Structure 1
Amino acid sequence: MTHTKAARLIPAGLLALSAVPVLAGAVRVAELTGGAAITADSARFHAGPVPVMLHIAGVTVYSVLGAFQFAPGFRRRRPAWHRAAGRLLVPCGLLAALTGVWMTLFSDLPAGHTGLLTAFRLAAGSAMAVCLALGLAAILRRDVARHRAWMIRAYALGMGAGTQAVLFSAWYAATGGDAHTVARALLHGLGWGINLTVAEWAIRGRSRRAARQPIGGADQPSGGARSSAADS
């Protein structure tokens, strides 16, 4: 498969992965607004529905719209759309990250969701917010390469739920039961770790291609120094 064909498949794959948090969020919204019975697992969401709803809204927009930012041909053909989407993605990503941190700190978490898992969630949410801030700061300096790198890392962290769902499905298929406390935490951490590893591989691959490309070549980033402050 050529690099161009592979690049076209990336947004489709990301959209498929984003279906997990989007559908889970839709189910949660239906529970909160439809008078569903309160269970031990859902009680914390009913006790503080505002950050939950904000988190779901942020994650939904960020994961779906963000997937199209990884379509290089689309970015080149519609740079104005890319910049406009970036202006929406940054606040939505920050909303998703910070509400996630808020819920981890202030929700009454059920048994099995504290300890190591809490540490992983706080680390991932905080790192995602930092990556978005650094990506925004980079584009304000017209540093497109660093901007893209930080935004790729932020999106990888934001898509952790999709990868974690795949890992939990594999765990259930292999063991026939739910993951215990430590395994649950490690599977969550592994999901973020896998995404960050793929992100770093993609960033370094882009850097190697850029280093081989002659100045003014076809792979020069679209928009260049003219990219807007919220280009992502």
Structure 2
Amino acid sequence: MTTARIQPRVARRRPEWLVPAGLITLSLVPMVAGSARLTQLATGAAVTAENARFFDSPVPVVAHIVGSSVFLVLGALQFAPSLRRRRWHRISGRIVAPAGLVSALSALWMTLFYDMPASVTGPGLAAVRIVLGTAMAAAIVVALVAIRRGDVRTHSAWMTRAYAIGMGAGTQVLVFLPYTLLASPPAPLTRTLLMTAGWVINLVIAEIVIRRRARAGRRRAGAPMAASGARLS
């Protein structure tokens, strides 16, 4: 009697660079806007009510633009599995984490001390920014503490949450664009809701990614045990 061999089903894997490329693409709009702001400051553009706060105190906005750009680009590359298995991940992580802290803390400073014009804010938006800026900085600190004690899973989860908050400006473009095209420039309260929606979307996606990683980790941990049991039986 012959025994039919069961061929394992090979799962189709998506290209590993798809996610990093998408994240970098999403971050291009805020990065281009930040570059334009730096150009204004460097070339001495005309001071208006919209940009006066940046000329009065340029250090926080420069720190925020540079820190955010480094955090978004290098952070996106951390999602490539092949790079996570190499020394590059650890080396770049020593740049990503400080850049993220600079981004979060400078955002908090600007929220607390800049005189925001009505055209770029809305009711309650400052409170949302303070909560999320604090959460982003705290998430990075928790991630650093976790990796120092060798807890890779906790480190990965909290850095993913921090990146989701830092990527808020990119997702907000996708939220604002349809509304502006279909309706009109948002009123102050609508602006607050749309911007908050961008962060919420990112955080929901981050939690989905974190849970999928946890399930995949449990399956990998269970596979050797199952194989060992098969050999003993």
Taking structure 1 as the reference length, the TM-score comes to 0.88
> Partner of 2:151 in structure 1?
143
Name structure 2 gaps, 5 residues minimum: 1-10, 225-233
Q: RMSD of aligned C-alpha atoms?
A: 1.5
From 98, 101, 118, the equivalent of 1:91 is 98
**Identity value in percent:** 47
From 15, 24, 33, the equivalent of 1:15 is 24
- Determine if contact 1:120/1:188 at 8 Å carries over to the other structure: no
- Determine if contact 2:176/2:194 at 8 Å carries over to the other structure: yes
Alignment pair present for 1:194 and 2:195: no
Deviation sequence 1:160-188 (CA, Å, 0-9, x none): 0000011111111111x211100001111
Aligned residue for 1:5, secondary structure, equals coil
AA aligned to 2:175 is L
Deviation sequence 1:126-162 (CA, Å, 0-9, x none): 1100100000011011000000000000000000000
State how far apart, in whole Å, the 2-side matches of 1:114 and 1:184 are: 6
Deviation sequence 1:174-223 (CA, Å, 0-9, x none): 11x21110000111100000000000000001111111223586xxxxxx
Alignment pair present for 1:119 and 2:147: no
State how far apart, in whole Å, the 2-side matches of 1:179 and 1:81 are: 43
- Determine if contact 1:104/1:118 at 8 Å carries over to the other structure: yes
> Partner of 1:228 in structure 2?
none
AA aligned to 2:110 is M
Aligned residue pair count: 213
> Partner of 1:225 in structure 2?
none
AA aligned to 1:44 is R
Alignment of 1:150-189 (within 5 A): 150-175=158-183, 177-189=184-196
> Partner of 1:104 in structure 2?
111
- Determine if contact 1:62/1:92 at 8 Å carries over to the other structure: yes
Higher relative contact order (CA 8 A, sep 6+): 1
AA aligned to 1:58 is G
State how far apart, in whole Å, the 1-side matches of 2:41 and 2:168 are: 23
| Deviation for aligned residue 1:8 | 2.9
AA aligned to 1:117 is L
Deviation sequence 1:89-109 (CA, Å, 0-9, x none): 111000000000000000011
Q: Which segments of structure 1 move beyond 6 Å, counting only runs of 4 or more?
A: none
State how far apart, in whole Å, the 2-side matches of 1:171 and 1:133 are: 36
| Deviation for aligned residue 1:74 | 2.5
> Partner of 1:221 in structure 2?
none
State how far apart, in whole Å, the 1-side matches of 2:12 and 2:83 are: 15
Name structure 1 gaps, 5 residues minimum: 218-232
> Partner of 1:230 in structure 2?
none
> Partner of 1:211 in structure 2?
218
AA aligned to 1:49 is P
Aligned residue for 1:146, secondary structure, equals helix
Alignment pair present for 1:71 and 2:80: yes
| Deviation for aligned residue 1:7 | 3.7
Residues 4, 74 of structure 1: CA spacing in aligned structure 2 closer, same or farther, 3 A cutoff?
farther
- Determine if contact 2:123/2:188 at 8 Å carries over to the other structure: no
Higher gyration radius (CA): 2
- Determine if contact 1:21/1:59 at 8 Å carries over to the other structure: no
